[in-house]
């Protein structure tokens, strides 16, 4: 065997996630592993919870980090809240809305799909009409930041509509948390999930989630057991409930949680609003450069996510050639199109630690060279 240690190349990650992980977070990851029931570790988990409450802008006590990627956070929200008796309206405007549909189907609940066009925000009027036509609906689910297209939906308005129709809300904030305004309590979000590797710029594999008091009540009152043992919140909550009360459920990814703690601390030290402003500022700089290069955005300006910029690939330019060139010549990763936009768009991420001026400059000059070379 000639297998040697794996030394990854030093890339700049400007795709749809993972984003660049700072040295500070990487250093946290490399600290000594301790037991997951060690009192020092339990104290750190309590701080992770507090920092997550800040990031989500919530006082929900049922706030924690699932030991698995964003997709598991999605699944945790759906399987804990929904039973076959429920009717769920899923607002679908991209790939991640489609995954919500898939979750509801597998639970066997009644599914109502409210479609909005890809590349656009979820249309509040479409949700309103769908709820009027389906008065039995008791849940509304939507994606705040649709990473497949770069569209930003108005979460506050969608939650208001859902509340007026007595529905609980399930919100995908995998790409929005830390990148754009998000206020779980003020907006009345009942269940929310995110991911460590997007605007938090932590290593992949952890999913922050939070449930409102009302949603926690629904979970407590379930008679049908949650079909997933691992994601059953009534069990996981016992594991996250602090010193003295803590019951073994599974072994937490100890070092990854050090990294999450550090990345959330960085967010708190920067200030949430400052982080949102930084993403917007870097997005503006990138958009100005794209206009100069003749690259057109898919999403109308008012509905764009600063942290995920999707642009049409110019006619006659080969998608794969450009992305390979950027990777080889510039160690720069950008994202390919997804779903309806496969082969037709690039997705350029400015998430978390990646959202810095030096990366905007690198991306624009590398793309300029690539376009000149391959046109």
Ligand X SMILES: *Cc1c(COP(=O)(O)O)cnc(C)c1O
From the list 24-32, 140-148, 255-263, 313-321, the region that binds ligand X by CB under 6 A is 140-148
* The only residue of 121, 143, 168, 189 in contact with ligand X, by rule CB under 6 A: 143
Judged by CB under 6 A, does residue 147 bind ligand X? yes
- Can you list the alpha helix ranges (DSSP code H) found in 201-243? 213-220, 233-239
**Number of residues binding to ligand X, judged by CB under 6 A:** 14
Q: Please report, as residue ranges, which positions from 78 to 137 form the binding site for ligand X (by CB under 6 A).
A: 96
Strands (E), the chain: 12-14, 62-66, 87-92, 110-115, 139-143, 145-146, 151-152, 168-172, 191-193, 207-211, 308-312, 332-336, 345-349
Binding of ligand X at residue 75 (CB under 6 A)? no
User: According to CB under 6 A, which one of 37, 61, 69, 111 is a site residue for ligand X?
Assistant: 69
Helix (H, G, I), strand (E, B) or coil at 344: coil
Q: Kindly state the smallest distance separating residue 257's Cβ from ligand X, in Å.
A: 16
Among 138, 175, 212, 310, binds ligand X (CB under 6 A): 175
Can you tell me which of 178, 195, 306, 337 binds ligand X, judged by CB under 6 A?
A: 195
Residue 339 region by backbone torsions, left for phi larger than 0, else alpha for psi between -120 and 50, else beta: left
- Kindly indicate which of the ranges 45-53, 142-150, 261-269, 323-331 contains the residues binding ligand X, using the contact rule CB under 6 A: 142-150
Report the site for ligand X in 286-345 (rule: CB under 6 A): none
15 binds ligand X (CB under 6 A): no
Q: What is the DSSP string of 17-83?
A: S--PPPHHHHHHHTSPP--TTSHHHHHHHHHHHHHHHHHHT---SEEEEESS-HHHHHHHHHHHH--
Task: Name the residue number minimizing CB distance to ligand X.
Answer: 70
Confirm if 206 and 178 have CB atoms less than 8 A apart: no
Query: What count of Cα atoms within 13 Å lies in the side-chain half-sphere of residue 85?
Result: 5
By CB under 6 A, name the one of 24, 34, 37, 71 that touches ligand X.
71
Residues 6+ apart with CB under 8 A from 300: 120
Choice from 20, 86, 154, 172 touching ligand X (CB under 6 A): 172
**At its nearest, how many Å lie between ligand X and the CB of residue 301?**
21
Site residues (vs ligand X, CB under 6 A)? 17, 69-71, 74, 96, 143, 145, 147, 172, 174-175, 195, 204
């Amino acid at each position: 065997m000639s297998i040697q240690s794996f030394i990854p190349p030093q890339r700049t990650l400007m795709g749809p996630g993972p984003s660049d992980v700072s040295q500070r977070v990487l250093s946290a990851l490399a600290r000594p592993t301790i037991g997951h029931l060690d009192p020092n570790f339990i104290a750190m988990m309590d701080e992770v919870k507090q920092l997550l409450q800040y990031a989500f802008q919530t006082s929900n006590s049922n706030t924690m980090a699932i030991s698995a990627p964003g997709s598991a956070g999605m699944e945790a929200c759906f399987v804990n809240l929904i039973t076959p008796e429920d009717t769920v309206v899923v607002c679908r405007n991209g790939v991640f809305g489609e995954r919500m549909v898939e979750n509801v189907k597998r639970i066997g609940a009644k599914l109502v799909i409210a479609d909005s066009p890809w590349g656009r925000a979820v249309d509040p009027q479409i949700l309103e009409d769908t709820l009027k036509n389906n008065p039995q609906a008791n849940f509304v689910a939507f994606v705040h930041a649709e990473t497949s297209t770069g569209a930003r939906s108005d979460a506050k308005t969608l939650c208001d509509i859902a509340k007026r129709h007595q529905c609980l809300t399930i919100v995908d904030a995998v790409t929005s948390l830390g990148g754009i305004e998000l206020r779980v309590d003020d907006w009345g979000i009942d269940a929310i999930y995110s991911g460590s590797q997007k605007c938090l710029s932590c290593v992949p594999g952890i999913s922050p989630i939070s449930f409102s008091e009302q949603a926690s009540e629904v979970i407590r009152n379930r008679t049908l057991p949650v079909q997933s043992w691992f994601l059953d919140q009534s069990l996981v909550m016992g594991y996250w409930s602090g010193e003295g009360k803590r019951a073994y459920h599974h072994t937490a990814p100890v070092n990854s949680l050090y990294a999450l703690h550090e990345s959330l601390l960085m967010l708190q030290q920067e200030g949430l609003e400052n982080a949102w402003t930084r993403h917007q500022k870097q997005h503006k700089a990138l958009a100005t450069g794209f206009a100069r290069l003749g690259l057109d955005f898919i999403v109308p300006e008012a509905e764009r996510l600063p942290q995920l910029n999707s642009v049409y690939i110019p006619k006659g330019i080969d998608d794969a050639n450009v992305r390979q060139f950027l990777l080889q010549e510039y160690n720069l990763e950008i994202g390919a199109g997804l779903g309806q936009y496969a082969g037709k768009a690039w997705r350029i991420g400015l998430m978390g630690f990646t959202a810095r001026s030096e990366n905007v400059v690198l991306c624009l000059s590398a793309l300029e060279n690539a376009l000149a070379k391959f046109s």
